Chain A
Amino acid sequence: MAKSIDVSGLNIYYGDFLAVQDVNVTIKARAVTALIGPSGCGKSTFLRTLNRMHEVIPGARVEGDVVLGSDAIYGPNVDPVEVRRTVGMVFQRPNPFPTMSIYENVLAGNRLNNRKLKKADADAIVEKALSGANLWSEVKDRLNKPGMGLSGGQQQRLCIARAIAVEPQVLLMDEPCSALDPISTAAVEDLIHELKTDYTIVIVTHNMQQAARVSEYTGFFNLKAAGQPGHLVEFNKTSKMFSTPEQESTEAYISGRFG
Chain B
Amino acid sequence: MTTTDASPRVGRRLGDLLFAGTARAAGITILIALAGVATFLIVEGIPGIVTTQSSAFAGKASFVSYTWPLVFGTVLAAVIALLIATPLAVGAALVIGFYAPRRLATPLGYMIDLLAAVPSVVYGLWGATLLAPKMQPTYAWLADHLSFIPFFAGPASATGRTILTAGVVLAIMVLPIITAICREIFAQTPALHREAALALGATRWEMIKMAVFPYARSGLVSGVMLGLGRALGETMAVAMVLSASSAVTFNLIGSQNPSTIAANIALSFGERTGVERNTLIATGLVLFVITFIVNFLARGIVARGRKGS
Q: Which residues of A contact B (CB under 8 A)?
A: 51, 53, 56, 58, 81-85, 88-89, 91, 93, 95-100, 108-109, 112-113, 159, 162-163, 166
**A112/B202 contact (C-beta < 8 A), A95-B192, A98-B193, A99-B214 known:** yes
Identity of the chain A residue whose Cβ is nearest the Cβ of B206 in the assembled complex? A112
- Residue from A81, A83, A162 having most chain B Cβ neighbours under 10 A: A81
**A58/B102 contact (C-beta < 8 A), A81-B203, A112-B202, A166-B201 known:** yes
Given contacts A84-B199, A98-B215, 16 further A-B contacts (CB under 8 A): A53-B195, A56-B198, A81-B201, A81-B202, A83-B201, A89-B199, A95-B193, A95-B195, A95-B196, A96-B196, A97-B196, A100-B214, A108-B197, A108-B210, A113-B201, A163-B199
Instruction: Tell me the complex Cα distance, A1–B183, Å.
Output: 42
Instruction: Tell me the complex Cα distance, A58–B197, Å.
Output: 17
Contact B200 A112 (CB under 8 A): yes
Q: Which residues of B contact A (CB under 8 A)?
A: 102, 190, 192-203, 206, 210-211, 214-215, 308-309
Instruction: Tell me the complex Cα distance, A108–B202, Å.
Output: 9
Contact A97 B195 (CB under 8 A): no
- Residue from B190, B193, B196, B215 having most chain A Cβ neighbours under 10 A: B196
Residues of B within 8 A of A97 (CB): 193, 196-197, 210-211, 214
Instruction: Tell me the complex Cα distance, A98–B210, Å.
Output: 10
Contact A84 B215 (CB under 8 A): no
Chain B nearest CB: distance from A157 CB in Å? 15
Contact A84 B201 (CB under 8 A): yes
Residues of A within 8 A of B194 (CB): 56
Residues of B within 8 A of A81 (CB): 201-203
Main secondary structure of the interface of B (DSSP, over half): helix
Instruction: Tell me the complex Cα distance, A152–B218, Å.
Output: 26
Identity of the chain B residue whose Cβ is nearest the Cβ of A94 in the assembled complex? B192
Residues of A within 8 A of B211 (CB): 97
Identity of the chain A residue whose Cβ is nearest the Cβ of B199 in the assembled complex? A89
Residue pairs across A and B with Cβ atoms less than 8 A apart, 7 shown, are A56-B198, A89-B199, A97-B196, A97-B197, A108-B200, A163-B200, A166-B200
Contact A84 B193 (CB under 8 A): no
Q: What 7 A-B pairs come out closest when comparing CB atoms?
A: A85-B201, A99-B214, A89-B199, A109-B200, A84-B201, A95-B192, A95-B196
Chain A nearest CB: distance from B66 CB in Å? 46
Residues of A within 8 A of B190 (CB): 95
Residues of A within 8 A of B309 (CB): 98-99
Residues of A within 8 A of B210 (CB): 97, 108
Q: Which of A56, A96, A99, A108 contacts B195 (CB 8 A)?
A: A56
Residues of A within 8 A of B200 (CB): 84-85, 88, 108-109, 112, 162-163, 166
Chain A nearest CB: distance from B156 CB in Å? 42
Instruction: Tell me the complex Cα distance, A25–B198, Å.
Output: 26
Identity of the chain B residue whose Cβ is nearest the Cβ of A159 in the assembled complex? B196
Instruction: Tell me the complex Cα distance, A112–B210, Å.
Output: 10
Instruction: Tell me the complex Cα distance, A99–B196, Å.
Output: 13
Instruction: Tell me the complex Cα distance, A163–B200, Å.
Output: 7
Instruction: Tell me the complex Cα distance, A89–B211, Å.
Output: 16
Chain B nearest CB: distance from A68 CB in Å? 14
Identity of the chain A residue whose Cβ is nearest the Cβ of B213 in the assembled complex? A99
Chain B nearest CB: distance from A27 CB in Å? 18
Instruction: Tell me the complex Cα distance, A111–B133, Å.
Output: 48
Instruction: Tell me the complex Cα distance, A98–B214, Å.
Output: 8
Instruction: Tell me the complex Cα distance, A159–B196, Å.
Output: 9
Chain B nearest CB: distance from A57 CB in Å? 10
Residues of A within 8 A of B192 (CB): 91, 93, 95
Residues of B within 8 A of A56 (CB): 194-195, 198
- Residue from B102, B190, B197 having most chain A Cβ neighbours under 10 A: B197
- Residue from B192, B199, B210, B214 having most chain A Cβ neighbours under 10 A: B199
Residues of A within 8 A of B193 (CB): 95, 97-98
Identity of the chain B residue whose Cβ is nearest the Cβ of A86 in the assembled complex? B201
Residues of B within 8 A of A109 (CB): 200-201
Residues of B within 8 A of A95 (CB): 190, 192-193, 195-196
Contact B199 A51 (CB under 8 A): yes
Chain A nearest CB: distance from B218 CB in Å? 11
Chain A nearest CB: distance from B9 CB in Å? 40
Chain A nearest CB: distance from B183 CB in Å? 17
Contact A99 B308 (CB under 8 A): yes
Residues of A within 8 A of B308 (CB): 99
Residues of A within 8 A of B195 (CB): 53, 56, 91, 95
**A84/B198 contact (C-beta < 8 A), A58-B102, A95-B193, A98-B215 known:** yes
Chain A nearest CB: distance from B1 CB in Å? 39
Residues of B within 8 A of A108 (CB): 197, 200, 210
Chain A nearest CB: distance from B298 CB in Å? 20
